[in-house]
Structure 1
Amino acid sequence: MSGQPNILLIMCDQLRADVLECYGNEFVHTPNIRRLAESGICFDRAYSQTPVCVPARHGLLAGVNPFELGLVDNSLDFNEIRHPLPERVRSEGYATYAVGKMHFHPVRKHYGFDRMLLSEEIASHIQDDDYLLYLRENGYGHVIEPHGKRSENYYVPQKSELPEELHSTAWTAARTCELIRSNRNRPFFIFTSFIKPHPPFDPCSPYDRMYPESEIPMPVRQESEKNPDDYSIWIQNDYKVNGIDRVSDDDIRRIRSHYYGSISQIDKQIGLILDTLEDTGLRDNTLIVFTADHGEMLGDHYAFGKRTYYEASTRIPMIVSQPNKWPQGERRDQLCMLQDVYATIIVASGGAVPPESSGKDLAAVGHDPAISIRERIIAEYGNGRAMKFMLRWGDFKYIYHTNGERESLFNLRTDPLELEDIAADQRELCTSCRQQLVDYYIEYAFEEALDGDRLRSYPHEIPVAGGYLNQYPGWPSTIA
């Protein structure tokens, strides 16, 4: 089909929106992501429904709510994807490529990608992983855990053992640039997925010292949050930092410094991708979508990791840019989510969005800021006592925890830092929110969320401390 745009989907792993210049951050240097935003539209209220890697990524790939796939956590057991995004785009005549971290199972299940150049977070066999083969070919096959040391060091700030040009961040961008240059004469869809800034936080030199620890702002938190009510946060903190009460302010600043350094390292590589599109004359006719699978708490509210519905975990960047089609340098406040990436890309390629998709084409609001695509977002994460739900609408966010039937309500217009839980003063509104969740899950027949005509609940319990989770203590022996 003539006039089809090239399509480039760029995803970062564990990138919270508020660390980017284009989302108001004045401390972390991300000039190339800002450059991308200035050539397109920033969506200010984009959310990851199930803020953890596998559900978020497969929800985007399938265009449906993650729980419809049977995914409410990082399980690898899920339902078949009926209309995967790359397959739909390929059917419109595109060459389709996957570069970087996909987190598919089986690893090389292609879902319609013509070619996959993989750099997975945890590889089981070197033959499955193009990046590991690249390291071995370039004399660095001896490096154990090239994405950073895990296990007891999982949240310990590190300096990468690799030179910058061999780091997975640079490799992912370089492979993307090669594919752009080799596909100048046919429409392409490239899904470029950076492993970082997912922990371990291991930027190369000079990014590991780019942000002096003495200048790092401390997390948003208050003393009353020191023993979090969120069951998932409690567990995450215990296995990642072995008790949040034993992490010093200096430790937290060091963690944040290395996280910021990882982001600036990615930003440089995104600049190289944009330069390649411009040098090849393809930039104006390339639709770029930049986003993340979820965020990172980074010490806010005395929490680390994701798996929660605080903004730092669930709110994600969403930038859409195509200079010859979309407005430039504008913002939108419509609620959007990762399935909207699915719909937007399929429509841009010339295809039709399957009726079962919950995604909306963002081009409509891109061209008309008055259009509303949804009034609310309903989201869910976890099993058993760790299960929780979010209802996000207007200025408000409601969160329900099955562990003890606890509720939180925040007015994000007056309290954007989520420090004032107003649930106790808004009982009638909270009751309405619960009923909306019940009605929604009954409609979807999502029985895991329900106990008859009520949301599921369990007696309140605080988990017993377990210490560090075994985060893959040794690199698989098949790698070397």
Structure 2
Amino acid sequence: MPTKPNIIFIITDQQRYDTIAEFGYDFMETPNLDRLAREGVYLSACYAAAPSCVPARASLFTGHYPHTTGVVDNAATWRHTWVEDLAEAGYHCVNIGKMHTQPMDTPAGFHARMIVENKDRSMAKRGADFVDEWDKAIRKANFEKPGLPSYRLLNDYADRLGAFEWPLPDELHSDNFVGSLAVDWIQEKRSDKPLFLQVGFPGPHPPYDPPAHEVERYLSRELPIDPVRPGDVESQPRPFRELVQKHVDGDHDSVRHKVDASAEERRRQRAYYLANVTMIDREVGRIIDALDETGRLEDTIIVFTSDHGDMLGDHGHSQKWSMYEQVIRLPIIIWSSRGFKARGRLDPLVQHMDIAPTLFDLAGLEKPSSWEAVSFADALNDDAFEGRYAVYCEQGRDVVFRFSDFVSMVRTRRWKYVHFLGEDFGQLFDLESDPGEYENRWDDPACAAIRDEMEKELMNWRIRSGYKAREWAEKWR
């Protein structure tokens, strides 16, 4: 019987799909991710089940949609994951960095956790007083942790859009710190069992805070940034307009938002964000080297992805919570030392949580029958795989997004439909003619039939979901 492969599951936080050079974005410097994408596969149409961290991760690690897990907001409790199934199957399961479980230190199936959470927890509903491994290291080095209280003291704080120079030694930056913890763990080789190692990088989530010397490469080059078109924000549904205003009036995660930010201010913000991605890419390279040096790379699957993206001022928005492509479309790379028949770009429409059954198939493990996630292992084997007809995304009212009880999205290859519970407004985009999502066709009589069809798809999906997930809901009730 073949041995189970090691699985290295690397997840960044709030990384856009358009931040990896091999995906076609040649302004990026991501040599290690490029290598994984060339030698393995990357999916061009992978979508999160939620546009914020906690519900997106809960879906990813359960194989179920937010309305099934009950985790629909960014502070909801979730403790159980399919990592428990991996542990029962003989894997040694380790988390280093961010998982974003609630409570933050719940076992979640891991044998060991070395937790590094959000960079800035000063305004968190939960966890403001939580002390993680990174906090301990900064304290041991006799530094004060940078964050909202210190950044607010800067004279130009209101114009920085969340972009700051990391003021402490490079090795204490959260992403460098997590990378080093992962390398150390791999080098110590603490178990002879197959390894499931989840590495959670806190970046490029704001504050966008690379060391100054990391930013120079991006400040000196042209970066593709879409200007906010006149009337764009004003034309959006009321909850999204109010979300924009909340970011303008506040500074969640140290980002003081400006809809009318100058081109230079937005270019600076983007440069700091992209520099953080390049830093993470370098840490991914170190992890690969450590696996190789210790003999772990010989039978290993590496997955690289994020939980959702970041608007970075596009459409006038800051951060997440909306249903635009910049937030819900994700980078995903899968590499295997055994190799796949397929190589490079794959285009089937998939849900982010579909990673779980795919990994179970690759590891030869039985998948729970109640999962709503669908394996795309056939696509990796170059077999016939059409992908999903539609993908779905959900967001409930939370500490930041307070403006609608529940938002649902259905996206097919051509159309995107965004539904606000109890409201007669919404969004409908023809992604074929309007890939930038600028023309809302919700009230267009010519699209009335399409709107009805998408609403019916949403309703049928919820009915199918309730039936499919009934066993899982019973288990964790």
Q: 1:230 Cα deviation (Å)?
A: 3.7
Write out per-residue CA displacement over residues 151-197 of structure 1, whole angstroms, 9 at most, x where no aligned residue: 97794310011222221101111111122223384310000011100
Tell me which moved more, 114-123 or 52-61.
114-123
SS at match of 2:203: coil
Q: Partner of 1:99 in structure 2?
A: 96
Q: 1:228 Cα deviation (Å)?
A: 4.9
Does structure 1 residue 111 correspond to structure 2 residue 125? no
Q: Partner of 1:434 in structure 2?
A: 455
Q: 1:220 Cα deviation (Å)?
A: 5.1
Asked if the contact 1:41–1:327 (Cα under 8 Å) also holds between the matched residues in 2, the reply is no
Q: Partner of 1:391 in structure 2?
A: 410
Write out per-residue CA displacement over residues 386-433 of structure 1, whole angstroms, 9 at most, x where no aligned residue: 532211122322222347422333333443222343441311111111
Write out per-residue CA displacement over residues 218-252 of structure 1, whole angstroms, 9 at most, x where no aligned residue: 32542230325244433333233336444333222
Q: Partner of 2:145 in structure 1?
A: 143
Query: Separation in 1 of the partners of 2:46 and 2:221?
Result: 32
Query: Separation in 1 of the partners of 2:322 and 2:394?
Result: 9
Structure 1 letter corresponding to 2:185:
L
Of 180, 189, 214, the match for 1:174:
180
Query: Separation in 2 of the partners of 1:366 and 1:66?
Result: 27
SS at match of 2:145: coil
Of 424, 429, 443, the match for 1:405:
424
Asked if the contact 1:132–1:141 (Cα under 8 Å) also holds between the matched residues in 2, the reply is no
Q: Partner of 1:132 in structure 2?
A: 135
Structure 1 residues 57 and 271: alpha-carbon distance in aligned structure 2, compared to 1, 3 A threshold: same
- TM-score, normalised by the number of residues in structure 2: 0.85
Q: Partner of 1:165 in structure 2?
A: 171
Q: 1:277 Cα deviation (Å)?
A: 2.1
Does structure 1 residue 36 correspond to structure 2 residue 18? no
Q: Partner of 1:324 in structure 2?
A: 338
Asked if the contact 1:213–1:257 (Cα under 8 Å) also holds between the matched residues in 2, the reply is no
Q: Partner of 1:466 in structure 2?
A: none
Does structure 1 residue 222 correspond to structure 2 residue 219? no
Structure 1 letter corresponding to 2:76:
L
Write out per-residue CA displacement over residues 82-108 of structure 1, whole angstroms, 9 at most, x where no aligned residue: xx2211111111111001112122221
SS at match of 2:197: strand
Query: Separation in 1 of the partners of 2:359 and 2:208?
Result: 31
The count of corresponding residues between Structure 1 and Structure 2 is 441
Tell me which moved more, 331-340 or 346-355.
346-355
Of 204, 217, 232, the match for 1:210:
217
Query: Separation in 1 of the partners of 2:352 and 2:150?
Result: 28
Q: Partner of 2:266 in structure 1?
A: 252
Asked if the contact 1:101–1:120 (Cα under 8 Å) also holds between the matched residues in 2, the reply is yes
Q: Partner of 1:70 in structure 2?
A: 70
Query: Separation in 1 of the partners of 2:173 and 2:139?
Result: 13
Query: Separation in 1 of the partners of 2:365 and 2:86?
Result: 7
Structure 1 letter corresponding to 2:452:
T
Asked if the contact 1:397–1:412 (Cα under 8 Å) also holds between the matched residues in 2, the reply is yes
Query: Separation in 2 of the partners of 1:178 and 1:103?
Result: 22
Does structure 1 residue 239 correspond to structure 2 residue 246? yes
Q: Partner of 1:264 in structure 2?
A: 278
Structure 1 residues 380 and 125: alpha-carbon distance in aligned structure 2, compared to 1, 3 A threshold: closer
Asked if the contact 2:342–2:379 (Cα under 8 Å) also holds between the matched residues in 1, the reply is no
Q: 1:335 Cα deviation (Å)?
A: 1.5
Structure 1 residues 319 and 254: alpha-carbon distance in aligned structure 2, compared to 1, 3 A threshold: same
Of 84, 88, 92, the match for 1:87:
84
SS at match of 1:196: strand
Query: Separation in 2 of the partners of 1:281 and 1:366?
Result: 24
Query: Separation in 2 of the partners of 1:33 and 1:413?
Result: 29
Asked if the contact 2:10–2:199 (Cα under 8 Å) also holds between the matched residues in 1, the reply is yes
Structure 2 letter corresponding to 1:36:
L
Q: Partner of 1:370 in structure 2?
A: 384
Asked if the contact 2:348–2:387 (Cα under 8 Å) also holds between the matched residues in 1, the reply is yes
Aligned ranges 1:326-475 → 2 under 5 Å: 326-327=340-341, 329-383=343-397, 385=404, 387-402=406-421, 404-423=423-442, 424=444, 425-444=446-465
Asked if the contact 1:7–1:188 (Cα under 8 Å) also holds between the matched residues in 2, the reply is yes
Structure 2 letter corresponding to 1:431:
D
Structure 1 residues 57 and 162: alpha-carbon distance in aligned structure 2, compared to 1, 3 A threshold: same
Structure 1 letter corresponding to 2:132:
D
Q: Partner of 2:23 in structure 1?
A: 23
Structure 1 letter corresponding to 2:32:
N
Structure 2 letter corresponding to 1:170:
N
Q: 1:360 Cα deviation (Å)?
A: 1.9
Query: Separation in 2 of the partners of 1:234 and 1:393?
Result: 25
Structure 1 residues 287 and 93: alpha-carbon distance in aligned structure 2, compared to 1, 3 A threshold: same
Structure 2 letter corresponding to 1:432:
E
Q: 1:131 Cα deviation (Å)?
A: 1.6
Q: 1:53 Cα deviation (Å)?
A: 0.5
Task: Tell me the percent identity.
Answer: 28
Query: Separation in 2 of the partners of 1:365 and 1:371?
Result: 5
Write out per-residue CA displacement over residues 301-326 of structure 1, whole angstroms, 9 at most, x where no aligned residue: 11111111111010001111103142
Query: Separation in 1 of the partners of 2:116 and 2:265?
Result: 29
Query: Separation in 2 of the partners of 1:287 and 1:259?
Result: 28
Write out per-residue CA displacement over residues 186-215 of structure 1, whole angstroms, 9 at most, x where no aligned residue: 310000011100011111131233312773
Query: Separation in 2 of the partners of 1:147 and 1:334?
Result: 45
Q: 1:434 Cα deviation (Å)?
A: 0.8
Query: Separation in 2 of the partners of 1:208 and 1:147?
Result: 23
Q: Unaligned stretches of 5+ in structure 1?
A: 447-480
Asked if the contact 2:416–2:428 (Cα under 8 Å) also holds between the matched residues in 1, the reply is yes
Structure 2 letter corresponding to 1:75:
A
Q: Unaligned stretches of 5+ in structure 2?
A: 122-126, 250-256, 398-402, 468-477
Write out per-residue CA displacement over residues 308-356 of structure 1, whole angstroms, 9 at most, x where no aligned residue: 1111010001111103142464221112122212212333333211111
Asked if the contact 1:32–1:270 (Cα under 8 Å) also holds between the matched residues in 2, the reply is yes
Structure 1 residues 199 and 144: alpha-carbon distance in aligned structure 2, compared to 1, 3 A threshold: closer
Q: Partner of 1:186 in structure 2?
A: 193
Aligned ranges 1:281-296 → 2 under 5 Å: 281-296=295-310
